[in-house]
Amino acid sequence: MKATSKTTNHKQVINSTSYSAVMTSLGSQGSSSSSSTEYVVRVPKNTNKKYSIMAFNAGDKVSCSTWTQARMERDMSNRRIYGEEETQEGAAGSEFGKKQREEARRKKYGIITKEFKVEDQPWILKVNGKAGRRFKGIKKGGVTENASYYIFTQSADGAFEAFPVHAWYNFTPQAKHRTLTAEEAEEEWGRRNKVVNHFSIMLQRRLREQERGGGDEDEEEGEKGAKKKKKGGRGGDLRIHDLEEDLEMSSDESDGSNGDDDEAKAKAKKEKGAKGKGKKKKKKGSDLEGFEDSDDGDFEGLEVDYMSDESSSEEEEPEKTKPNKGEDVPKGIDEMSESEEESEEETKNEEENKEEEEEEDGKKTPVQVEKKKKKDSSGESDSSEDSDIEGEAASALFMVKKRTPPKRGGGRGSAGSSRTGSRPGTPSIDNAATSNTLRAAASKLEQGKRQTTVPSSETPAAKRLKMEPSPQSSSGKSTPQPASGKSTPSASDVLLTEDAVRRYLIRKPMTTKDLLKKFQTKRTGLSSEQTVNVLAQILKRLNPERKNINDKMHFYLTE
């Protein structure tokens, strides 16, 4: 009380000093320690202005002086509820005497419907235009019942004017960010133990909405995001544009399963950072279209080739679908994928990531834990990691690992974009087991490349990485693939030669898309057009046999 009185004191002193001159010294009692001034109080009678109070909460930090412009109007959204709009009267659909009957019925049951009073409706206050804040002011009841509030303002002549307060409205700010609806909130609550990255929730929702707007994807995409999104999630929106552009760039390379850039884009968005796997994405789109939400049935028809380490198509599918069922997948996988995501982020840091990937190969759960720790330490949420890396680990184990999509990727726009551009063929690394590390290595390479290192450094790095994983994969993982398969790719990835292509085709039937993925532009140093041309020539020379697997034309050689 003391403090307050001091402040009021201060104000009153100001008031007194400014107005005492005006005021006659009516009844100025003078004692040495006190001085008083008298003011006339008037209650104007003929004003047609109704005064109301606009109350803001302390925590909202509202300062009226910062408002440049404001608009306020009544919120009439309740009118239709209360208004009881009549269905058309007369002619079709109406009954004779319906109104009277309804009224009689209401009276009989004692139903009293409240009138819609405009006076009692809430206010909608918009400050500073479209980009500013919005407030909703709800009338507070019971204000004028027992006591009246008056507003005392000091008028020009020093007298006080008192105006009665007509109503009191409590204004609360309205959230401009999106919130979950009740159903969605319940869903997320059920998943709270599984989802580590909570920022992705809103992002997925946004993507889902975009999907529905586009009308072609199904919810899988949304679910897919679940695990993938990481902290960068929020930034994902911004990066989406980058991704889209990147995807379009890289889409040239792929044959485009769907041929829809939209799909790819949408998927890319989801994957935040869609690591340039334009092709992958498109493929995903097509693959995913038919999939349902549940985990189980998705992988039944997929080919799983344990022997080859380049079966990109098959592996891509399981990996892709995996993300979709974020929720349903057992916890272990979720953790795995999440940890993979984390590891992906860290891959940017390169060396450390390598270790992680190796760990992943080796063990499942402990890896996740470690990865998470590492993630914390690195603290870099730059996504756009290779989902492949993640996928690899999981796929090795379950063959259902989805490829953790680039997810948050969005984040660092630059990263995302560079990522997409730089790794059109990353999916190729999606091989089970051994490919995990390979992919990790590859993604890391790409990241490294993107970030700082010169493209040239990739090669040695790639080679290095590839060497390392191979022993690992053979040792730890239950991955079906032999380590030997691993070592070979290192060279072939670099050069687009007939030998390389032959090697691939002998090992396993591949589609042109797969082949293109194998020979990434970054690795081979050729542009996408060149790659396509050279590959076409090679294929002509080799003249491989064709087989239709999964409605796709695969090439293979037998020797």
Partner 1 sequence: MSEKGEVDLTGAKQNAGVWLVKVPKYLSQQWTKATGRGEVGKLRISKNQGKAEVSFTLNEELTTIETIGEKTSMVRAPREHPFTLQTVGGQTLAVFTENSSGQSDAEASGSGTGSGPDKIALEGVVVQRAECRPAVSESYMRLKKLQIEELSKPLRFSQQLDKAVTTNYKPVANHAYNLDYEKRKKEEGKRARADKQQVLDMLFSAFEKHQFYNIKDLVDITKQPVIYLKEILRDIGIYNVKGTHKNTWELKPEYRHYQSEEKSD
CB 278 within 8 A of CB 420: yes
Tokens of 275: 């690591």
Q: Which stretch binds partner 1 (CB under 8 A): 85-93, 216-224, 324-332, 531-539?
A: 85-93
Site mask, partner 1, residues 8-27, x = CB under 8 A? Answer: xx-xxx-xx---------xx
Amino acid identity of residue 39, one-letter, is Y
For the CB of residue 63, give the shortest distance to partner 1 in the complex, in Å: 7
By CB under 8 A, tell whether 6 contacts partner 1.
yes
Task: Report helix, strand or coil for 71.
Answer: strand
State the amino acid at position 431 in one-letter form. N
Residue 72 engages partner 1 in binding (rule: CB under 8 A)? yes
Structure tokens given for 19: 């107005």
Three-state SS for 250? helix
Q: Considering only the stretches 65-73, 358-366, 497-505, 548-556, report the one whose residues sit in contact with partner 1 under the rule CB under 8 A.
A: 65-73
351 binds partner 1 (CB under 8 A): no
How far apart CA 408 and CA 233 sit, in angstroms, is: 5
Q: What are phi and psi of 134, to 5 degrees?
A: -120, 140
User: What is d(CA 531, CA 523) in angstroms, rounded to the nearest whole number?
Assistant: 11
CA distance 311 to 13: 85
CB of 160 to partner 1, least distance (A): 5
151 binds partner 1 (CB under 8 A): yes
Contact positions with partner 1 (CB under 8 A) in 254-283: none
Q: Based on the shown chain and the rule CB under 8 A, indicate whether residue 189 belongs to the binding site for partner 1.
A: no
Phi, psi values for residue 34, rounded to 5°: -140, 150
Tell me: does residue 454 bind partner 1 (CB under 8 A).
no
Q: Residue 176 Cβ, how far from partner 1 at the closest point, in Å? A: 19
- Distance CA(364)–CA(381), nearest Å, equals 22
Cβ contact 393:365 at 8 Å? no
Say how far apart CA 63 and CA 61 lie, in whole Å: 6
Which window, 59-67, 408-416, 450-458, 541-549, contacts partner 1 (CB under 8 A)?
59-67
What is the closest distance, in whole angstroms, from the C-beta atom of residue 177 to partner 1 in the complex? 23
- Closer to partner 1 by CB, 53 or 532: give it: 53
Query: Which residue from 21, 58, 112, 156 is in contact with partner 1, where contact means CB under 8 A?
Result: 58
| Contact mark string toward partner 1, 163..182, x via CB under 8 A | -xxx----------------
* Nearest residue (CB) to partner 1, 31 versus 558: 31
319: three-class secondary structure by DSSP: helix
Q: Which stretch binds partner 1 (CB under 8 A): 2-10, 326-334, 388-396, 428-436?
A: 2-10
d(CA 46, CA 160) in angstroms, rounded, equals 16
Which of positions 90-129 make contact with partner 1 (CB under 8 A)?
Answer: 90-98, 116-119, 125
